[in-house]
Amino acid sequence: MIVICEECGKKYDIDPAQIKGREAKAKCKSCGHVITVTKKEVNPSAAAPPSKVKEVPPRPKEPEARSPEPNEEAPDTQPAKSATGPKKGFGLRPKIFVLFFFIPIALMIGAGSFYLWALEDLSSLITRESSRAVTQLGEAIIAEKARSVADQARLYLVSRPNMARQDFGSDQEFQKVAVQKVGLTGYTALYAVPDEKGIWRTWAHTNAKIIAIDMSTLNGPMGQNFDGFWKVFSNAKDGKESKGYYTWQEKDGSFRDKYMVCAPVKGTPYYVAATTYLDEFTKPVKDMEGRVNEITKGTRNMVFMIVGGTLLLVGFVVLLYGQRLTSRIRSLTDVAERISVGDMDAEISIKSKDEIGDLAEAINRMQASIRLSIERLRRRR
């Protein structure tokens, strides 16, 4: 049973079985007041007349405090236990930190990562498709140039039916028709299908040393690059076009890919080969790809900076707000604990205008009500 000191209001939890006889005395550990605890049996015959007593609901028998008798032993007394009990699970501050810091930051990092992935994928797709489109366009331009020069050469040869191939090199007009510029550094050339000896010979070329020679003899100067060139060059047969890539070694020792299209000069045993470096067409796209990569890298760094700054700012705000909120709640909890053990002088210093402030005012009103009740009880005694 719970016994309250009449002087200071301190609560004690007393076991009635420890009271020997009808009453016992105990000294309050807080103020020193002597508390008398009495067991009282209800005697129906001693009840007051009905006309002078108001009906009240029956109450269980409980000890009654009155004057102690000599040589009476006091029962063991102990302060009433706090109703709050030990804390279980996470506190308010970790919950605030998780809900308002980790979860938003995780979502932000996920969204930023997805954005960066989509941006890089989009830029890669654009550059890849642009490069492919420009490559196809370059191949089409080279093929169209070969066909155009072949048509011009056919018209020139038809208009001069008696012109011998040995005269091609000395005829400047024919050279202008058969040898034209392709791209920035490429050119066209005119060669004939194998003669009765199976020899491929070129009859119009930018390099006069190549005219009328056996083209298979270039195997030595071209080295390992000759096979790729010869495959495209010799596949031009029976009036069908031949096209493909081969590697060309520059004077500085570097290697670059060339694209060649061999178009037939219809009605003649000749073909026009148009060749040039394909990177002359794709270089602007490659440059654009480099700029896109730089922009993507800069955007990625900017996103990382924004996410990092947001993380620090949100973390600071959450920690500050959580610290203030939990400190005010702990302050109110301490005051409530002190009031629960009879300390009516505990002061509440929280003056906020939110729900915490409402709770502080409610505890203040409760404290004043308990203090008034104790004063009334003292006056009655």
Block residue for tokens 């129906």: 44
Q: Quick: pLDDT tens for 21-46.
A: 777 777 787 777 778 777 654 344 33
pLDDT value at 105 more than 50: yes
> d(Cα 311, Cα 298) in Å, to the nearest integer?
20
Residue 54 binned pLDDT confidence (cut-offs 50, 70, 90):
very low
Quote the pLDDT of residue 275: 94
Task: Rounding to the nearest 10 degrees, give the CA dihedral for residues 167, 201, 186, 169.
Answer: -10
Do 129 and 185 reside in the same domain of the chain? yes
Quote the pLDDT of residue 74: 41
CA distances from 104 to 163, 212, 216 (A): 84, 77, 71
8 Å CB contact between 250 and 243: no
pLDDT value at 52 more than 80: no
Block residue for tokens 């490069």: 131
In a domain, 317, yes or no: no
Q: Which residues contact 188 (CB under 8 A, 6 or more apart)?
A: 145, 146, 149, 178, 179, 180, 182, 272, 273, 274, 275
Do 137 and 252 reside in the same domain of the chain? yes
Q: Which helix (H) or strand (E) holds 324?
A: helix 279-340
- pTM value surpassing 0.85: no
Do 124 and 202 reside in the same domain of the chain? yes
Cβ atoms < 10 Å from Cβ of 150: 26
> d(Cα 157, Cα 163) in Å, to the nearest integer?
7
Do 155 and 247 reside in the same domain of the chain? yes
> d(Cα 189, Cα 192) in Å, to the nearest integer?
10
> What is the chain's mean pLDDT, rounded?
79
Do 244 and 143 reside in the same domain of the chain? yes
Do 270 and 134 reside in the same domain of the chain? yes
Do 46 and 183 reside in the same domain of the chain? no
In a domain, 93, yes or no: no
Show the tokens assigned to 346: 């505990």
Q: Whole domain around residue 56: which residue ranges?
A: 1-81
Per cent of the chain over pLDDT 90 is: 22
Do 260 and 198 reside in the same domain of the chain? yes
Quote the pLDDT of residue 89: 56
Do 129 and 269 reside in the same domain of the chain? yes
In a domain, 367, yes or no: no
Q: How far is CA 249 from the centre of its chain?
A: 47
**Euclidean distance between the first and the last CA atom of the chain, given in angstroms as a whole number:** 21
Domain boundary among 268, 286, 304: 286
* Torsion 62-68-71-74 (CA) sign: positive
User: What's the structural domain count of the chain?
Assistant: 2
In a domain, 107, yes or no: no
**What are residue 25's DSSP bridge partners?**
36
pLDDT value at 67 more than 50: no
Q: Quick: pLDDT tens for 149-187.
A: 999 999 999 999 888 888 887 888 999 999 999 988 899
CATH of the domain at 251: 3.30.450.20
Q: Quick: pLDDT tens for 206-228.
A: 988 889 999 988 888 788 889 99
In a domain, 264, yes or no: yes
Do 134 and 248 reside in the same domain of the chain? yes
Do 125 and 273 reside in the same domain of the chain? yes
Domain boundary among 267, 286, 305: 286
Task: Rounding to the nearest 10 degrees, give the CA dihedral for residues 276, 176, 264, 186.
Answer: 0
